[in-house]
Amino acid sequence: MLRQLLVGGAVSLGNIAIHAVVMAAVVATGRRALTWKHSSAQTWLPVLMVAVVGVLLVAHMAEVVTWSLAYAFLDVAPPGADVLYFALVNYTTLGYGDVLPGERWRLLGPMAAMNGVLLFGWSTAVIFEVMRQGMRIRDHKTEL
């Protein structure tokens, strides 16, 4: 059990590092983008939000791939199972239950789910913050 916790913790920390780098870049770029001169504040904010969410989707897929690489390396998924599908089901907490990990690595699925919930929540906070700042700037510009 300790080995499962250590491996799951290491993969989770790796994903948190990936997410931290992407979050810092998204927030910094979002702040800079919100100060650019643009003709239509009504159009600019939705374009920025689509870009932010798109980058976050790519980050989450990189994190799922990280889990799937760990699953493949440890031979966690049953023979013939798609480790990327298995990682996505765990990370998103979808939990179809059609693919179960081997007994020795049962804790990795819930740990991946916990990691996914944490990182989705973090992404939601960043999306909201960029939108809040954008709306504040948009509303300030329309008052002028």
The structural domains of the chain, with segments of one domain joined by +, span 2-143
Q: Name the average pLDDT for the chain.
A: 88
Which conformational region is residue 136 in: left (phi greater than 0), alpha (psi within -120 to 50 degrees), or beta? Answer: alpha
Q: pLDDT, tens digit, for every residue of 116-138?
A: 999 999 999 999 988 888 888 77
Residue 124 half-sphere exposure toward CB, CA atoms < 13 A? 6
CB crowding 50-59: b at 16 or more within 10 Å, else e: eebeebbeeb
CB 33 within 8 Å of CB 131? no
Predicted local distance difference test score (pLDDT) of residue 142: 57
CB 60 within 8 Å of CB 120? yes
Q: pLDDT, tens digit, for every residue of 78-108?
A: 788 899 999 999 999 988 777 777 778 889 9
Q: What is the pTM of this model?
A: 0.87
SS3 (DSSP) at 115: helix
**DSSP string computed for 34-103:** HHS--S-HHHHHHHHHHHHHHHHHHHHHHHHHHHHHHHHHHT-SPTT--HHHHHHHHHTT----SS---G
